[in-house]
Amino acid sequence: METDDVPSGSSPAAMLEQVVLVNEDIKQVVRNAFRINLMALNAILMARRAGSAAGFGIVAREMRELSEALVHSMRTLRALSDELLYAVTYVMRHARIEHVLARAATQSTRAQGNLREVLRATAARRIDLERHVAGQCAALATDLRSAVGISRVADSLAHMAKIEASWASDHRAGLDTVSEELASSLRGILPLLQALSTKLEAIHR
Binding-residue total with other proteins (CB under 8 A): 16
CA-CA-CA-CA torsion sign (152, 158, 162, 167): positive
Q: Is residue 83 within 8 Å of 143, Cβ to Cβ? A: no
How far apart CA 205 and CA 202 sit, in angstroms, is 5
Contact letters for other proteins, residues 88-117 (x by CB under 8 A): -xx-xx--x---------------------
Of 72 and 78, nearer to other proteins (C-beta) is 78
Closest separation in Å from C-beta 65 to other proteins: 28
Closest separation in Å from C-beta 125 to other proteins: 15
Which of 1, 6, 16, 160 is close enough to bind other proteins by CB under 8 A? 16
H/E segment holding residue 117: helix 109-167
Of 2 and 128, nearer to other proteins (C-beta) is 128
Closest separation in Å from C-beta 96 to other proteins: 6
Residues 18-47 that bind other proteins (CB under 8 A): 20, 23-24
> In this chain, which stretch among 17-25, 107-115, 138-146, 168-176 interacts with other proteins, using CB under 8 A?
17-25
Closest separation in Å from C-beta 24 to other proteins: 5
Q: How is 63-115 classified by DSSP, letter by letter?
A: HHHHHHHHHHHHHHHHHHHHHHHHHHHHHHHHHHHHHHHHHHHTS-HHHHHHH
Closest separation in Å from C-beta 87 to other proteins: 8
Separation in Å, CA 169 to CA 154, 164, 165, 183, 195: 24, 10, 9, 21, 40
Of 129 and 183, nearer to other proteins (C-beta) is 129
Of 40 and 87, nearer to other proteins (C-beta) is 87
CA atoms within 13 Å, Cβ hemisphere of 133 = 26
Q: Return the amino acid letter for 196.
A: L
Q: Is residue 144 within 8 Å of 197, Cβ to Cβ? A: yes
Which of 49, 51, 54, 82 is close enough to bind other proteins by CB under 8 A? 82
Residues across the chain: 205
Binding site for other proteins (CB under 8 A): 12-13, 16-17, 20, 23-24, 82, 85-87, 89-90, 92-93, 96
